[in-house]
Chains A and B, each alone.
Chain A
Amino acid sequence: MVGFNFKSMYTIAKKEFMDNIRSKWIIAISIIFIILTVVSSYVAGGQGEFGGMEETVVSLLSISALLIPLIAIMLGFSTIAGEAEKGALYVVLSYPVRRVEVLLGKFLGLGAVLAVTPLIGFGLGGVIIAATVGAEEGVAYLAFIGLTILLGIMYLSLVIFISALCKTRVRAIAGGIVLFFWAMIYGLVLMSIYIATGGSYEDFFSGSLLDLPDWFWASIVFSPNDTNQMAVMQAFDLKQAFGFQIEAPDWLSMSFLLAVQMMWVLIPLFLAYFFFRRRDI
């Protein structure tokens, strides 16, 4: 690409990766993921035995949906706002590098950190389960790991956008917290709207959501978490999760869900560049 130095981007990505991988909490999180996977499998299995891959994923899904965005936000909120405030970004941007190279370098480096933690944590956990109860649904389990990484990447992209938009580190972390809570309550908001607009109480409280309206399913695309969870359910062909029986429409296919998730990565990243390019450092 003319006017783009891949080496600068790679150098920044490598630095971001090394800087974060040395941090002890990344190691701690990887260990937590291993423990969580094994414990989830054990709980899912019941009667003192490990559960299979599918049961483990069902148990892990809500925990990873909570932890992964949180890790991404913790990693990314300081990327631009924090470094500009602290002063490290002045030096980097005074070098012969372009802002797009710096931004993509940071995104790729932090993305690699986000990929490593579930890869080690859920990966080793998966190996333990496979060794104990067998590797049935192994491919779907790998898809779960991949989709978990994608969930982290989506939140990373969003939080980098927030960091590029906010003037200070404090505002960026506040933005990150708002993003996190919005992601957590989005499903509840949708349910509330569904019931308020004439949705069936009985279906909701009996745990059967087989007749949800199209607008409900369409609105899933506005939530990275829900889109991602739906993709995991597709990977395992799950019809039941979080205590609900769910029958998604046909158009909510895996490829559609992946395309939506790619949009959640690319659009915030583009907006982050838009604001970063114009930003006074």
Chain B
Amino acid sequence: MITKNVKCPVCKNIITIQGNPGEKTPIICPNCNTRGEFLFPEEKLGFQKAAGPSSIEISGLVKHFKEVKAVDNISFSVKTGEIFGLLGPNGAGKTTTIKAILDLIHMNSGNVKINGFDIKKEGIEARASVGYLPERVAFYDNLTPLQTMNFFCELWGVDKSVAKPLIKEVGLEDAIDRKVGTFSKGMVQLLGVAQVMIGNPPVYILDEPMAGLDARWVKIIREKIKMLNKQGATILFSSHILSEVENICDRVAIINKGKLIAEDTVTNLNKYLRIKPRLEITIPGLNGRIPEVIKTIGGVEVANAKGDTLFVTCEPTVKSQIITALQNSGLKIDNIKTIEPSLEDAFVKIIESGA
């Protein structure tokens, strides 16, 4: 949300208006009733956008910690303008991969390009294209949020005037004069989110950005990620909250034991894994009994019942056949709910398959 002061062309009265980039807002002057419109300009990204189709390109990334292969020949690319999710169980190698992308840890082999710049050969240019929020973000205890942001603005070479609005944007304006050392984990995380937006970079790498935050702030950060993406930013986003990844991401990569085991859209992953939808059918008087007729229908994978609800996992094509068969056998259906397969289902199936 941008706040802007505009001058009425007739009476020269100053009117304060709010809106989002690219939004057209109608204005009525409270002084002279003159009507007009204001178009909020689209925000420009701070650094030249990637000329190529991919903003992050990783090929053959390998990282050993002594005998342990933390990242094992991982290759993927994040298309310009997309939100890409990095998923995996704890210790899978997500954070190591992210740190290797930014050259915070030195890869044993492989290549990483950010915004077309090689992280090894053109590290300064590559990092000037990225906003990074680490999993365990921390700042300096004796500095206030404003001093912290001023420091990072200076380090980035950005005017310090952006610091206050960014602090306000993440809702920390009431704590602007408090020392960061007195902040809760969530507040530090929010300061991290404000910090990541300094310089308006075209690429964002967010490692578990919602970790430790309550629902209100999770929603704000989710909206912020979507807004940045709407403005053209490319986002690589790691999380263990599958629903968040499913809600936000265009594509997903799943990492397990240092290896990339799947990379696709959420829909395609589900299709590829043939994860079937689940029907929840409410039948009064069912009493936990599975109707015999269900067992005769081809395409039904699993059927079980609890109380008056029948749970059937099946091919999507046999859904109507099941309903007809149940009705023909004299059962009255009160309600049918279809639970579509989630990313969580895909994730669990992939991890359990030990791929």
Using a CB–CB distance below 8 Å, which chain A residues touch chain B?
7-8, 11-12, 15, 18-20, 22-23, 86-88, 90-98, 278, 280-281
Q: Are A94 and B132 in contact (CB under 8 A)?
A: yes
Q: Are B137 and A90 in contact (CB under 8 A)?
A: yes
Q: When the two chains form the complex, which single residue of A18, A23, A91, A280 contacts B195, counting CB atoms closer than 8 Å?
A: A91
CA distance A88 to B152 in the complex (A): 12
Q: For B130, what are the chain A residues with a Cβ–Cβ distance below 8 Å?
A: 94
Q: Does B136 sit at the interface, judged by CB under 8 A?
A: yes
Closest A residue to B106 using CB positions: A280
CA distance A229 to B278 in the complex (A): 81
Per-residue CB contact flags for chain B residues 132-143 toward chain A (1 = under 8 Å, else 0) read 101011111011
Q: For B137, what are the chain A residues with a Cβ–Cβ distance below 8 Å?
A: 87, 90-91
Q: For B28, what are the chain A residues with a Cβ–Cβ distance below 8 Å?
A: none
- Number of contacts between A and B (CB, 8 Å)? 74
Q: For A95, what are the chain B residues with a Cβ–Cβ distance below 8 Å?
A: 127, 152, 155-156
Q: Does B147 sit at the interface, judged by CB under 8 A?
A: yes
Q: Are A94 and B104 in contact (CB under 8 A)?
A: yes
Q: For A280, what are the chain B residues with a Cβ–Cβ distance below 8 Å?
A: 99, 104-106
Q: Are A87 and B142 in contact (CB under 8 A)?
A: no
CA distance A95 to B196 in the complex (A): 10
Q: Offer 16 A-B interface pairs, CB within 8 angstroms, sorted by A.
A: A7-B157, A15-B143, A18-B143, A18-B147, A20-B142, A22-B142, A23-B142, A88-B138, A90-B99, A91-B137, A91-B192, A91-B195, A93-B104, A96-B124, A96-B125, A280-B106
CA distance A96 to B102 in the complex (A): 11
Q: For B125, what are the chain A residues with a Cβ–Cβ distance below 8 Å?
A: 96
State whether A278 and B106 are in contact (beta carbons under 8 Å apart), knowing that A11-B155, A19-B142 are contacts in the complex. Answer: yes
CA distance A12 to B106 in the complex (A): 23
Other A-B pairs beyond A15-B151, A90-B104, A95-B155, 18, CB < 8 Å? A7-B157, A18-B147, A19-B142, A19-B143, A86-B136, A86-B138, A87-B137, A87-B138, A88-B138, A88-B140, A91-B134, A91-B139, A91-B152, A95-B127, A95-B152, A96-B125, A97-B124, A98-B124
B20-45 CB contacts (< 8 Å) to partner A: none
Q: Are A97 and B134 in contact (CB under 8 A)?
A: no
Closest B residue to A278 using CB positions: B106
Q: How large is the interface on B (under 10, 10 to 19, 20 to 34, 35 or more residues)?
A: 20 to 34
Per-residue CB contact flags for chain B residues 89-129 toward chain A (1 = under 8 Å, else 0) read 00000000001001011100000000000000001110110
CA distance A19 to B105 in the complex (A): 27
Q: For A91, what are the chain B residues with a Cβ–Cβ distance below 8 Å?
A: 132, 134, 137-139, 152, 192, 195
Q: When the two chains form the complex, which single residue of A20, A23, A96 contacts B127, counting CB atoms closer than 8 Å?
A: A96
Q: Does B340 sit at the interface, judged by CB under 8 A?
A: no
Q: For A15, what are the chain B residues with a Cβ–Cβ distance below 8 Å?
A: 140, 143, 151
B203-261 CB contacts (< 8 Å) to partner A: 205
Q: Are B155 and A12 in contact (CB under 8 A)?
A: yes
CA distance A95 to B198 in the complex (A): 10
A116 to chain B, nearest CB (A): 15
Q: For B132, what are the chain A residues with a Cβ–Cβ distance below 8 Å?
A: 90-91, 94
CA distance A87 to B154 in the complex (A): 20
Closest B residue to A12 using CB positions: B155
CA distance A95 to B132 in the complex (A): 8
Q: For A98, what are the chain B residues with a Cβ–Cβ distance below 8 Å?
A: 123-124
Closest A residue to B140 using CB positions: A19
- Most chain A CB within 10 A, of B139, B143, B155, B195, is at B155
Q: Which 5 A-B pairs have the closest CB atoms?
A: A87-B138, A94-B132, A280-B105, A96-B128, A87-B136
Q: For A281, what are the chain B residues with a Cβ–Cβ distance below 8 Å?
A: 99, 104-105
Closest B residue to A8 using CB positions: B155
B333 to chain A, nearest CB (A): 54
Q: When the two chains form the complex, which single residue of A12, A94, A97 contacts B102, counting CB atoms closer than 8 Å?
A: A94
Q: For A19, what are the chain B residues with a Cβ–Cβ distance below 8 Å?
A: 140, 142-143
CA distance A94 to B147 in the complex (A): 19
CA distance A281 to B127 in the complex (A): 15
Q: Are B124 and A87 in contact (CB under 8 A)?
A: no
CA distance A247 to B97 in the complex (A): 62
A249 to chain B, nearest CB (A): 47
CA distance A15 to B143 in the complex (A): 9
B182 to chain A, nearest CB (A): 13
Q: Are B134 and A90 in contact (CB under 8 A)?
A: yes
CA distance A19 to B288 in the complex (A): 66
CA distance A278 to B108 in the complex (A): 12
CA distance A86 to B137 in the complex (A): 8
